[in-house]
Each structure stands twice: as C-alpha cells, then as structure tokens.
C-alpha cells in the first residue's frame, strides 16, 4: 500500500512493528494534497505543525507554511517547490527523503478533502493534549514534596477546565455527546499510619468537643480513607444532629445500632479510640479534607485519561465526559477552606467627627444656613 511506504531511506532508521494510528494516514493524505496544490493551505482553517503526531510530518508542514507558495504554472512543470520543502524540512527531520514526498502524494485519496484531513489532525491533537493535562493533574495530586499541594491541584484543575472550554469552542457538539467508555477503578486511598492517626484524632476530639461539629458541615464521611472511620463519623454527626448527648459511651451505643461492632471493632477498642484526643476537630478535619481533595483530583485525572485513551470518543464526547469528571472535584472544592492569612493589625483612626460622617467628598466651603420660608 502506498501509505505504508517507509519514511526512512533504505537501511536507515529503526523499524516500528506497531501499526500506525489512523491519524498517520490523515497526515499523509493532507501533506500529499498540499504537495499537489500548495494553494489549499488557505482552506485548512487553524492548523499548526505542533498539532501533527509524526515529527517528520510536522517538519514538512512547517516548511510548507514557511516557504512562499509557488506559481501554479511553474509548480505543474518543475519540482522546485518540492525540493525547497524537502531541504527546509530536513533541518528538523534528517530522515526525510525525496521518495517519501512522492509517497505522500500517492497516499492522498482526494486532494479536495484536505480540510477534512486537517480536522482529523486537530481532533487527534486535542485528544493528546487533553491526556497531557490530565497527566499533569495526576502528577500534581500525587507529588508529596509540594509546600501546598491542595492549592497546586486546584490551579492545575483550573488550567484543565480552561483547556476544555477552548476545545468546546473549537469543535461543534453533536448528538450522542456522552462517552461510552467504562469508568476505570478509582485509585486506592492512602491508608498509611499517618492518615489513620489523623482520622482517629478527629473522631476523638469531635467526641470530646461535639459542639464544634455544627461548624464542620464542610466535612463528610466520604472524605475519610477508612470506611470504619467514615461510619463512626456518621455516628457522631447523627447524635449531634438529633441533639443527643455525645460521649464515648453514646457513640458506642450508636455504633452498635449501625452494626459496626459485629466485625469491624470491639467495644473496648472503640472506647479506647475515642478517649485519646488532642487539638481541635477543625484542625484534624482540615487535614482529612485536604487528603480527600488530592485523592479526588487523582481520580478525576485517571477518568479523563481513560476517556482520552479511547479513540472511539469524539472531541465533544471527551469534553462532556471530562467536565463531568471535574464536577466531582468541584464538589469537594466548594467545601475546601483555603489557609486563612492573619489580618494586619488595625490602624488607629482619628476621632470620628460629624463632618466625616457624611458620604461623598469633603466640603470645601462651609454649608449655608437653611433659609426659612414664611407660611
């Protein structure tokens, strides 16, 4: 087949046994159409060399976009422009040969379909860039060396959302916008000793200070890494919501009614867990919510990467599915409280006078005396 002709010259370059993706043939067809008629460059719409999947194809397109187009009569008789394109492209892709340019021409089924080939290239580039953004979100969520990983994750999520808005503006919607790709399994939660200790301290301090639970509606049982701790926190919030007494014994009784003492924990262990407390519930709750935020960011990134890896999804389906995945992260974001910076000390103010109490700019002249009118 013409489209399977080798890119490299004889005996030069590695052989890739993997089959070429469909975008490879779209790039070949587009470049072949442009080699036949360089004037079709003006009919492609917004297309850049960076959007090509194959680096050699990108070099050829960059050369075509840089060099001035030839006159139609000259181009039909002499391969001057083809030679100039090859020489310019070989600065970035030395493996290119003159025979491969002829292969590109043969690989074009119909030069009139060049705009359709360009749309295919843009669509595949959109898929790759979306996967790149999702990978950055996952890396940010799983990198523990950052000083403030929660803020960094939310900033990366904003960049991803802006990228989705840009894709939505470039690609028109169509029926069947929901992707059919099965959702991947959520990444495992971090259940290390530090995480479990923080959750235990939250349960103990909330039992000791149940009045603080009314101010902690931003924390939900789903934020806990261990299901048992999530269920115990539900016991605490239920008692507080009903206005019942809260102490280790009442929590134990509530846990018994919820079936938590059958296999998960013994009564003595539960009383011991709730008896050791330090700090405030809000302090430990903030740590738990931050970990939940990072975990959800990682989960969102994996879902988007799975969508982008499925070639059956159109760009519009990718945008729709990715926005739905981001909605789960936004749900936690609305409950996340950024670090509170201390307020600067209040400056001393001059005594408030009657003249300063009025709104608007200060008067420059004394107010005139009111004029009484006789009745």
Q: pLDDT (tens digit, 9 = 90+) per residue, 154-188?
A: 999 999 999 999 999 999 888 888 888 998 999 99
Asked if the structure places residue 349 within a domain, the reply is: no
3 state SS of 211: helix
Residue 367 counted as domain residue: no
Tell me if 260 is assigned to some domain: yes
Model pLDDT, residue 197: 95
Same domain, 46 and 88: yes
**232 plus 219 within the same structural domain:** yes
Domain CATH for 23: 1.10.860
Q: Is 5 exposed, middle or buried (0-12, 13-18, 19+ CB in 10 A)?
A: middle
In a shared domain, residues 134 and 265: no
221 and 256 fall within a common domain: yes
> Average pLDDT in the 287-300 region?
95
- Does the structure show a pLDDT above 80 at 1? no
Residue 185 placed within a domain = no
Question: Per-residue pLDDT averaged across 327-355, rounded?
Answer: 60
Q: Is residue 343 over pLDDT 80?
A: no
Q: How far apart are CA 328 and CA 336, in angstroms?
A: 13
Residue 373 — pLDDT band, cuts 50, 70, 90?
A: very low
Q: Does residue 49 have a pLDDT over 50?
A: yes
- The answer to whether residue 363 sits within a structural domain is no
Q: What is the rounded average pLDDT of the residues 325-329? A: 95
Residue 99 sits in the same domain as residue 138: no
Q: What is the pLDDT of residues 187-240, one digit of tens each?
A: 999 999 999 999 999 999 999 999 999 889 999 999 999 999 999 999 999 999
Within 13 Å of residue 165, how many CA atoms lie on the same side as its CB?
6
| CATH number of the domain to which 253 belongs | 1.10.860.10
| Local confidence band at 277 (pLDDT 50, 70, 90 cut-offs) | confident
Whether the pLDDT of residue 356 is over 50: the answer is no
Q: Is 277 in a helix, a strand, or coil?
A: coil
Domain closes at, from 89, 109, 129? 109
Lowest mean pLDDT among 53-57, 140-144, 155-159: 140-144
The whole-number average pLDDT for the span 341-345 is: 41
Same domain, 279 and 299: no
CA 361 to chain CA centroid, nearest Å: 48
Across the range 54-65, mean pLDDT stands at 93
Q: Which residue, of 261, 291, 321, is where some domain finishes?
A: 291
- What residue numbers bound the domain in which 58 lies? 2-109
**What is the model's pLDDT at position 306?**
96
User: E strand or H helix at 322, and its extent?
Assistant: helix 315-333
pLDDT above 60: residue 15: no
Query: Is 35 in the same domain as 96?
Result: yes
92-112: pLDDT as tens digits: 888 888 999 999 999 999 999
The reply to whether 134 falls in a domain is: yes
Same structural domain, 277 and 313? no
- Does residue 134 carry a pLDDT above 80? yes
Q: Is the pLDDT of residue 13 over 70?
A: no
Mean predicted lDDT score pLDDT of the chain: 84
Q: Are residues 127 and 208 in the same domain?
A: no
- Which comes out higher in pLDDT, residue 23 or 264? 23
100 and 20 in one domain? yes
The tally of domains found in the chain comes to 3
Predicted confidence at residue 305, as pLDDT, reads 96
> Among 58, 77, 109, where does a domain finish?
109
Which own/partner pairs from 108-114 qualify as long-range (CB within 8 Å, at least 24 positions apart)? 108/28, 108/29, 108/30, 108/31, 108/32, 108/33, 108/36, 109/29, 110/33, 111/32, 111/33, 111/36, 111/37, 111/40, 112/33, 113/29, 113/33, 114/29, 114/30, 114/33, 114/34, 114/40, 114/43, 114/44
With a pLDDT cut of 90, the percent of the chain lying above it is 63
| Residue 365 is assigned to a structural domain of this protein | no
Domain assignment present for 162: yes
Confidence of residue 295 (pLDDT cuts 50, 70, 90): very high
pLDDT (0 to 100) of residue 279:
86
Please check whether residues 287 and 298 belong to one and the same domain. Answer: no
Indicate whether 164 and 302 sit together in one domain. yes
pLDDT at 16 (0 to 100) = 52
The lowest-confidence range among 21-35, 48-62, 116-130, 137-151 is: 137-151
Q: Greater confidence, 345 or 182?
A: 182
pLDDT digits (tens, 9 = 90+) for 306-315: 999 999 999 9
């Amino acid at each position: 087949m013409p489209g399977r002709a080798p890119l490299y010259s004889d005996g030069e370059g590695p052989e890739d046994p993997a089959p070429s993706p469909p975008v490879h043939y779209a790039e070949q067809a587009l470049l072949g159409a442009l080699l036949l008629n360089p004037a079709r460059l003006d009919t492609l719409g917004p297309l850049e060399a960076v959007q090509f999947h194959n680096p050699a194809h990108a070099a050829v397109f960059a050369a075509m976009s840089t060099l001035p187009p030839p006159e139609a009569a000259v181009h039909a008789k002499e391969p001057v422009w083809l030679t100039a394109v090859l020489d310019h492209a070989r600065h970035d892709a030395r493996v290119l040969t003159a025979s491969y340019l002829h292969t590109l021409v043969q690989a074009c089924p119909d030069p009139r379909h060049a705009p359709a080939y360009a749309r295919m290239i843009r669509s595949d580039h959109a898929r790759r860039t979306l996967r790149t953004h999702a990978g950055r979100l996952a890396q940010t969520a799983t990198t523990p060396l950052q000083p403030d990983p929660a803020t960094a994750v939310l900033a990366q999520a904003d960049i991803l959302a802006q990228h989705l808005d840009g894709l939505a503006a470039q690609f028109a919607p169509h029926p069947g916008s929901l992707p059919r790709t099965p959702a991947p399994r959520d990444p495992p939660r971090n259940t290390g000793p530090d995480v479990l200790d923080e959750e235990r301290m939250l349960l103990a301090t909330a039992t000791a200070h149940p009045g603080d639970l009314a101010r902690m509606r931003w924390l939900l049982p789903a934020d806990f890494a261990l299901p048992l701790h999530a269920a115990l926190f539900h016991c605490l919030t239920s008692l507080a919501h009903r206005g019942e007494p809260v102490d280790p014994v009442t929590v134990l009784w509530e846990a018994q009614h919820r079936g938590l003492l059958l296999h998960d924990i013994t009564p003595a262990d539960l009383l011991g867990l709730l008896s050791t407390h330090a700090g405030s519930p809000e302090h430990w709750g903030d740590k738990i919510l931050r970990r939940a935020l990072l975990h959800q960011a990682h989960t969102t990134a994996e879902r988007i990467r799975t969508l982008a890896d499925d070639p059956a999804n159109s760009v519009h389906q990718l945008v729709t599915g990715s926005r739905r995945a981001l909605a789960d992260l936004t749900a936690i974001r609305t409950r996340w409280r950024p670090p509170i910076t201390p307020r600067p000390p209040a400056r001393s103010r001059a005594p408030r006078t009657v003249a300063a109490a009025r709104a608007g700019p200060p008067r420059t002249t004394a107010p005139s005396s009111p004029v009484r009118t006789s009745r």
